Amino acid sequence: MSVHIALLGRTPWALVNTYYASVMGGERPREVYIVTERRYSHNLPKITEAVKEISNAYGFSPEVGTLVIPDDDFREADRVLKNLFSELKEEDGDIVLNMTSGRKALVAAAIIHSRESKVKEILYMALLDVQFPNRPYMMLPKHMQVLKNFLGEENDR
C-alpha cells in the first residue's frame, strides 16, 4: 500500500481531482498527508472530507493527516517535508506525490526530499480549459484533463 502526499495551494479542486484520478487509476493509499501554508488551511476540513469520501466510495479508508506551514516560509517547508519523507522512508510502500495544487515553496521542497524516498509517481493534472476550474473531476470533460506522472511516460493517465 502506498502513501499519498498532496500539496494544497489556492486551488482545492486541483488537489481533490488529482487524488480522484489517482484512485480511479488503482491507487489505494493507506495514508494521505495534506500539506499546505497557513493562508490555505481554512480549506483543510473540506479537503480532508473529500479525500475520505472518495476513498470510502472505492472501498478503503486511509488515515488522513495535515501539516500546516507558515506562509512563504521556505525554510520551514524544507524542514517539514524533509522530516515527512524521512519518516516515510522507514515504512514499507511507495509514495505518490500530488503537486497539482502546491505552491512553489512546497513543491520545490517536496521534490528535493523525494529523491531519496520510494516515490513512484509525481503527479500533476493539467486542466486544458480554465473555464472549468472549480468542478469535481467527473464533471469535467475527460479530454480537458491530462494527468502527468513526471517519473515516466508509461505511467501517464
User: Phi first, then psi: what are they for 66, rounded to 5°?
Assistant: -125, 145
Identify the CATH number of the domain defined by range 2-149: 3.40.50.10770
pLDDT (mean) for 29-43: 98
pLDDT tens by residue, 55-79: 999 999 999 999 999 999 999 999 9
Q: pTM of the prediction? A: 0.90
pLDDT (mean) for 38-59: 98
pLDDT (mean) for 49-54: 98
| Contact status, residue 44 vs residue 36, Cβ threshold 8 Å | yes
User: Phi first, then psi: what are they for 89, rounded to 5°?
Assistant: -65, -30
Angle, CA 12 vertex, CA 11 and CA 14 arms, to 5°: 70
pLDDT of 143 reads 67
